[in-house]
Chain A
Amino acid sequence: MKPIQSKEEYQTYVETKSPNSPIIKDCFNAFWVGGCICAIGQIIFEICKIRGIDETNSYTIVSMLLIFLSAFLTGLNIFNKIGKFAGAGSLIPITGFANSIVSPAMEYKSEGYVMGVGAKMFTVAGPVLVYGISSSIIVGLIYIIFHTQSITLI
């Protein structure tokens, strides 16, 4: 090998030396685990439908049950193993959002219930709420601008 002269050259060299993640295997695991979580959701939804619950409430019930399940599995120290195996398969469904709230809450319990659990709960999920809610407000404002005739403002 020739001696490396610049930082850019080193960067390119390091990339050739660094092993990549096994993307095919990762994607396959993500697909079936993520698919299963969604399918479980759909089964819950179908049961709600049979019981005559309306669509909006059914979707909320699905979310809440999956969140409960995720919190439960996180509490049992199981979710991180699923996450390590499935990657995005358990991260992208609402279960990942719940896990990102539960895991720092458990981790920072040693710093107390207010500034530990209470404050650190949102270290990972906080940005999701900030960007989700902010973008929904922007969507609402833009919607008002384009539909001024049909909407009474106040």
Chain B
Amino acid sequence: MDWFMVLKAFITGGIICIIGQVLIDKTKLTPARILVAFVTAGAILGGLGWYKYLIDFAGCGATVPLTGFGNLLAKGTITEVHSSGLIGAFTGGIKAASGGIAAAIFFGYIASLVSKPKIKKQ
């Protein structure tokens, strides 16, 4: 196993989270707005073709943060545009991200069936 890659993922992912934390503490942005900002930033960086250098460097340190999700959507769109033209601009994004979206919806539904919310202790 490539442990150096794991270390790079740790550091890169951590730094991306620090950016998010500074936004939380210094601005009055709600979690939803921060997630939106990250996913949009990822899509733009992905569209420009820059985000892939970060993935090459850090692997999951770049794909696991939500910017990676935005990049995945944009990259999928571009790949699909090459193979099916205009229609690909509409099908490509969700196609590439379908695994994550479907998993989130399905596991979310299951969790809500079996579990009940509890108050935060402390």
Residues of A whose CB lies within 8 Å of any CB of B are 20-21, 23, 26-27, 30-39, 41-47, 50, 59-64, 66-68, 71-72, 74-77, 80-81, 84, 86-89, 91-94, 96-98, 100-103, 105-107, 109, 117, 121, 124-125, 127-129, 131-133, 135-137, 139-144, 150-154
Contact = CB atoms under 8 A, between A and B. Distances in A.
25 contacts: A26-B25, A30-B14, A31-B21, A34-B65, A38-B64, A39-B61, A42-B5, A42-B61, A44-B60, A46-B1, A63-B63, A77-B118, A84-B120, A88-B23, A91-B34, A93-B65, A101-B108, A102-B112, A105-B109, A124-B31, A128-B35, A128-B39, A139-B77, A143-B77, A151-B81
A76 to B, nearest CB: 7
Interface residues of B, number: 86
Query: Most chain-B CB neighbours within 10 Å: which of A26, A61, A135?
Result: A135
Nearest to B121: A81
A72 B32 contact: no
A128 B72 CA distance: 13
A133 B93 contact: yes
Contacts of B100: 60, 63-64, 67, 94, 97
B93 A137 contact: yes
Contacts of B9: 35, 38-39, 41-42
B64 A140 contact: no
A27 B94 contact: no
A25 B52 CA distance: 31
B13 A140 contact: no
A71 B110 contact: yes
